[in-house]
Structure 1
Amino acid sequence: MSRTALILPVRNAGRHLDRLLPALAAQSLRPDEWLALDSESSDGSRARLLAAGASVVPVRAADFNHGGTRRLASELTDAKVLIYLTQDAIPAGPDALRRLRDALLAEDDIGVAYGRQLPQPDAGLLGAHARRFNYPPFSRTKRLADAAELGIKTCFSSDSFAAYRREALREVGGFPSDVIGSEDAHVAGRMLLAGWAVRYEAAACVHHSHDYGLLEEMRRYFDIGVFYGRERWIAERFGRAGAEGRRFLRSELETVRRAGQPWRQSEVLLRCALKLAGYRLGHVERWLPRALKRRLSMFPAYWK
């Protein structure tokens, strides 16, 4: 089988390592390499990762970038399969890595395969719903021809748990070196345009979810708006997110109704308004002062 590397960006991961390290130790697939890119952790994460068998690569926190740091990792190994995992994505079952690797290699034109993200055991109602909405229980291989049906979801991917074929990653120029986020969508879109396929593998699962507060939602969507405002080729080739956003809103409203919490529909609508405001502000960020962008963003260091 192809040589495989596991790549894990970390920063103060201690509270996650209690679950992550045992889950990785139980995997049926043992990666040939394990690189942990540590952004100046101060909680003992580095020592724990070294003890678990990882090669720890220091990254200055001021230099961390979602695309650039992942790009650096890809240049530190010659493995043919690169499995990226975030510190808070916990493999669900011992075959998660193997199933993801096998999904990537199942067809010669698959450039990236990403797995299913299940809610964390303590996830709230809306956080759990977001995972169920974006990560259904059935697998699918997406190609450029599917854009007419799927729109912007065609290039949806998540490197919280994804495997990349080195050949495909190299062909599209690798991870972008300087993006505020959504580097996974950038790479997936470039791969699709270059003739590669994107695989969603529902049988490869991790527990990974977030319960964002109202202002966190706005800040997160500001960053998403920054990305899509700068990468306008994605909307031109795959469509905009409006229809998908409306579908998500309807499903959220139905979720709180079915949960017997109809009073939360006003919260859902407020969240939607804040997300839309953040997204639109992100789209016009070039007109905003840097100090304001730092306050609006979830990654203020990006605006240094």
Structure 2
Amino acid sequence: MNISVIIPTRNAEKYIGKLIKKLQSQTISPMEIIIIDTNSKDKTKEICKEFKGINFIHINDGEFGHGKTRNQAAKVAKGDILVFMTQDAYPNNDMFLDELIKPLGKDNVVCSYGRQLPRENSSCIEVFSRKFNYGNADIIKSRQDIDKLGVKTFFFSNVCSAFVKEDFFQTGGFPSDTIMNEDMIIASKFIFNDKKTCYTSRAEVIHSHNYTYREQFKRNFDVGVVFADSKLYFGGVKSESEGIKFVKNAIKYLIQNKKIYLIPHLIVESGFKFIGYKLGYNYKKIPMKYVKKMSMHSFYFEQKKEQEALVKAI
């Protein structure tokens, strides 16, 4: 199988060189690495040009969309396997690509995502978050798992993911009009079409964040927007219960690791997440000038306004 790796970038000079080196030293070498860059102001382009086998695509400010930009790169990809990564993640070992694509085509699995391990400077709560969402057991998910797993059935991550290209385009690719979570939406499309997704725990990348309260609020505001705008994709399955489960298990983790003093921080952080999600879910009731301030991806609302105006003009 030939692999095309697709990486959206913006001001990625801090990460991109290391990521490309790690990808090019895999036991299975990608046939190409496609960098689709949104008008970086740093040395991202210059660094990419230092490597062979890089297809560098430039797009302008205002053209980026989490789904549509990845679709744009996928359309020029030559491989029969599409691997998507984010600029701030990198393989933990040289078997990453091999392990990531291994489940594809078996038992009706059409896409897979890998395990995210925390960076060395990650907070205790972030370390738990990675363990909570990315365990050490592989999971194949299908329509039959919705009653048992709930919204976790659709959990998927483009931080590191792989797709059979034929199936990717048959399902229409990523949604082009979503603020984020394009990965979960395409996973839901596959699952409701009786295909399967796979979490493969041996495909490891280093990736984590230490978000501030404000950043957690903004990120979860956008998650709320996704669930408000994309209800049909998730079959009415609610996500709040997963948040409650996370908090309960995080408290147990902090107690077990003698970090009880972090529980207040966890509660406050979870409050910012919950309020952000709820406001995002009800964003249509909020004046747009405030919506843009609360969102991590305010450009989405400008693009949406332009699209709606275009539809009215037709």
TM-score by length of 1: 0.95
Q: Output the CA distance in 2 between the equivalents of 1:69 and 1:18.
A: 21
Cα 1:25–1:169 change in 2 (3 A) is closer
Question: Once the two structures are superposed, what CA deviation does each residue of 1:93-142 show, in whole Å capped at 9, x if it has no partner?
Answer: 0010111112223x051111000111112211111111110000010111
Q: Which residue of 2 aligns with 1:35?
A: 34
Q: Which residue of 2 aligns with 1:270?
A: 268
Structure 1 moving runs of 4+ over 6 Å: none
Given that 2:24 and 2:30 are in contact with CA atoms closer than 8 Å, whether structure 1 keeps it comes out as no
Given that 2:188 and 2:234 are in contact with CA atoms closer than 8 Å, whether structure 1 keeps it comes out as no
Unaligned stretches of 5+ in structure 1?
A: none
* SS class of match (1:112): strand
Instruction: Quote the offset at 1:18 in angstroms.
Output: 4.7
Counting only pairs closer than 5 Å after superposition, residues 1-304 of structure 1 correspond to structure 2 as 2-53=1-52, 54-105=54-105, 107=106, 109-236=108-235, 239-304=237-302
Instruction: Quote the offset at 1:21 in angstroms.
Output: 3.0
Question: Once the two structures are superposed, what CA deviation does each residue of 1:263-292 show, in whole Å capped at 9, x if it has no partner?
Answer: 221111111111111111111111222211
Cα 1:258–1:298 change in 2 (3 A) is same
Instruction: Quote the offset at 1:235 in angstroms.
Output: 4.1
Given that 1:6 and 1:33 are in contact with CA atoms closer than 8 Å, whether structure 2 keeps it comes out as yes
Given that 1:118 and 1:205 are in contact with CA atoms closer than 8 Å, whether structure 2 keeps it comes out as yes
* SS class of match (2:226): helix
Given that 1:126 and 1:211 are in contact with CA atoms closer than 8 Å, whether structure 2 keeps it comes out as no
Instruction: Quote the offset at 1:15 in angstroms.
Output: 1.1
Given that 2:17 and 2:48 are in contact with CA atoms closer than 8 Å, whether structure 1 keeps it comes out as no
* SS class of match (2:94): coil
Q: Output the CA distance in 1 between the equivalents of 2:223 and 2:263.
A: 24
- Size of the aligned set, in residue pairs, is 301
Question: Once the two structures are superposed, what CA deviation does each residue of 1:54-104 show, in whole Å capped at 9, x if it has no partner?
Answer: 110001122111011011111112422100011111100001011111222
* SS class of match (2:57): strand
Given that 1:215 and 1:274 are in contact with CA atoms closer than 8 Å, whether structure 2 keeps it comes out as yes
Q: Output the CA distance in 2 between the equivalents of 1:33 and 1:18.
A: 15
Q: Output the CA distance in 2 between the equivalents of 1:217 and 1:98.
A: 33
Instruction: Quote the offset at 1:301 in angstroms.
Output: 1.9
Q: Output the CA distance in 2 between the equivalents of 1:244 and 1:208.
A: 21
Q: Which moved more, 1:72-81 or 1:186-195?
A: 72-81
Q: Output the CA distance in 2 between the equivalents of 1:272 and 1:65.
A: 27
**Corresponding letter in the other structure for 2:35:** A
TM-score by length of 2: 0.92
Q: Output the CA distance in 2 between the equivalents of 1:177 and 1:52.
A: 30
Q: Which residue of 1 aligns with 2:305?
A: none
Question: Once the two structures are superposed, what CA deviation does each residue of 1:234-271 show, in whole Å capped at 9, x if it has no partner?
Answer: 4435x211221111001121222233221221111111
Given that 2:5 and 2:30 are in contact with CA atoms closer than 8 Å, whether structure 1 keeps it comes out as yes
Q: Output the CA distance in 2 between the equivalents of 1:302 and 1:250.
A: 33
Instruction: Quote the offset at 1:45 in angstroms.
Output: 0.8
**Corresponding letter in the other structure for 2:69:** T
Unaligned stretches of 5+ in structure 2?
A: 303-314
Given that 2:116 and 2:206 are in contact with CA atoms closer than 8 Å, whether structure 1 keeps it comes out as yes
Q: Output the CA distance in 2 between the equivalents of 1:18 and 1:167.
A: 30
* SS class of match (1:83): strand
